[in-house]
Amino acid sequence: MLEIIQVGKTFTKNQKDLEVLFNINLRVPEGEFISLLGPSGCGKSTLLNMVAGLDKPSSGTITISGKHVTGPGTDRVVVFQEAALFPWLTVLDNVCFGLKRLGLSKTETKQKASMTLKKVHLSKFLQAYPHELSGGMRQRVAIARALVMDPQILLMDEPFGALDEQTRLMLQKELEDIYLETKKTILFVTHNIREAVLLSDRIIVLGTRPGRIIKDLRVRAARPRQHNDSNLIYLENKIMDILQVEIEKVAKEELDDDYTLTKDSFPWDPDRDLGSGI
Partner 1 sequence: MVFRLQIWPDLFFPSPITVAETLINGFQDGSFTLALAVSFRRLLIGFTLAVFGGTLLGILTASFTWADETIGSLILSLQSVPSIVWLPLALLWFKMGEAAIIFVVTIGGTWSMALSVASGIKNVPVILVRAARTMGASGLPLFTEVIIPASVPHLITGMRLAWAFSWRALMAGELIGTGKGLGQMLMWGRDFGNMSLVLAIMILIAVIGSVTDNLIFKRLEITVLRRWGQLPDSAS
Ligand X SMILES: Nc1ncnc2c1ncn2[C@@H]1O[C@H](COP(=O)(O)OP(=O)(O)O)[C@@H](O)[C@H]1O
3-state secondary structure of 235: helix
In the bound state, the residue with its beta carbon closest to ligand X is: 45
Q: Total residues contacting ligand X (rule CB under 6 A)? A: 13
Positions in 154-193 near partner 1 (CB under 8 A): 155
Adjacent-strand bridge partners of 213: 206
Return the number of the residue (41 or 53) whose C-beta is nearest ligand X. Answer: 41
Contact pattern from residue 185 through residue 224 relative to ligand X, giving x for each residue in contact according to CB under 6 A and a dash for the rest:
----------------------------------------
Angle at 188 between CA 192 and CA 125, to 5 degrees: 95
Contact pattern from residue 50 through residue 89 relative to partner 1, giving x for each residue in contact according to CB under 8 A and a dash for the rest:
--xxx----------------xxxx-xxx-x-x-x-xxx-
Tell me what percent of the chain is helix, strand and coil, each rounded to the nearest 5. 35, 25, 40
CB of 41 to Mg ion, least distance (A): 8
In the chain, the DSSP E strands lie at 2-13, 16-28, 33-37, 59-64, 67-68, 76-79, 153-157, 185-190, 202-207, 212-218
Q: Which amino acid is at 37?
A: L
Beta-carbon contacts of 54 under 8 Å, excluding residues fewer than 6 positions away, are 72, 78
Which residue among 42, 133, 147, 213 contacts ligand X (CB under 6 A)? 42
Q: For the chain, how far is it from start to end, CA to CA, in angstroms?
A: 28
Which residue among 2, 22, 43, 179 contacts ligand X (CB under 6 A)? 43
CA gap 274, 263 in Å, rounded:
15
Return the number of the residue (18 or 102) whose C-beta is nearest partner 1. Answer: 102
Residues that bind Mg ion (CB under 5 A): 45
Residues that bind ligand X (CB under 6 A): 11, 13, 18, 20, 38, 40-46, 277
Residues that bind partner 1 (CB under 8 A): 49, 52-54, 71-74, 76-78, 80, 82, 84, 86-88, 97-98, 101-102, 129-132, 145, 149, 155
